[in-house]
Amino acid sequence: MQRLAFWFEFASTYSYLSAMRVDALAAEAGVAIDWRPFLLGPIFAAQGWPTSPFNLYPAKGRYMVRDIERIAAARGLAFRLPDPFPQNGLLAARLARLGRDEGWVAPFAREVYRAEFAEGRDIADRTTLAEILEGLGLEPEVCFRAAENDAIRAALRADTAEATALGLFGAPSFVTADGELFWGDDRLEQALAHALTRCTPTSTT
């Protein structure tokens, strides 16, 4: 089965859109999705951005909210911008990284996104995260301890370095086995098509 890496950041509104549809579209296409949590903060900081570009550039931020509202409405998804925006997704990302090792990353990530962008809840709050973990039949305190140990912290740092090396500069991003990068929820269909045809690449100029 062909594989497609789905790189997501919990603070990212467009990652929410993809998280809620990537598994269904991939199943239809016959592509296996590798859910890859990472942190955009260090990548943004390296290019001189202390926060989200949607805060740095207000016209872009206002547009993003309207763009997401329209797309969410068309897909029957709720959308509410959490306060503060962007949320601090570090602990959620560490938990997702643990969940990747343990096989529960996708349902966990979807529930985090739902809490954050459908309900406007604070995902830096351990109570929110504990509820989500419990809902998945996991032991929150055991998960928090495992997610905050040195191994997971190092793994998440290494993944973020890998994202940088792959050329990622935003989220969501999709990377095929042959290294093609696709950025944005609006490139998901194209990324899936490329994942399937990677042995007979389309010609480009």
Site for a copy of itself, rule CB under 8 A: 47, 56-57, 59-60, 62-63, 66-67, 69-70, 72-74, 78-80, 167-170, 180-184, 186-187, 190, 194, 202-205
Least distance (Å) from a copy of itself to the CB of residue 188?
Answer: 11
Least distance (Å) from a copy of itself to the CB of residue 181?
Answer: 6
Query: Does residue 35 sit in helix, strand or coil?
Result: strand
Nearer CB in complex with a copy of itself: 63/139: 63
- Asked whether 174 and 188 are in contact (CB, 8 A), the reply is yes
Q: For residue 175, give every residue at least 6 positions away whose Cβ sits within 8 Å of its Cβ, in sequence order, or none.
A: 4, 5, 7, 166, 168, 181, 182
* Cα–Cα distance for residue pair 101/175, rounded to 1 Å: 19
Nearer CB in complex with a copy of itself: 128/176: 176
Least distance (Å) from a copy of itself to the CB of residue 31?
Answer: 18
Backbone CA torsion sign across 77, 82, 87, 91: negative
* Cα–Cα distance for residue pair 79/143, rounded to 1 Å: 28
Least distance (Å) from a copy of itself to the CB of residue 198?
Answer: 13
Nearer CB in complex with a copy of itself: 27/161: 161
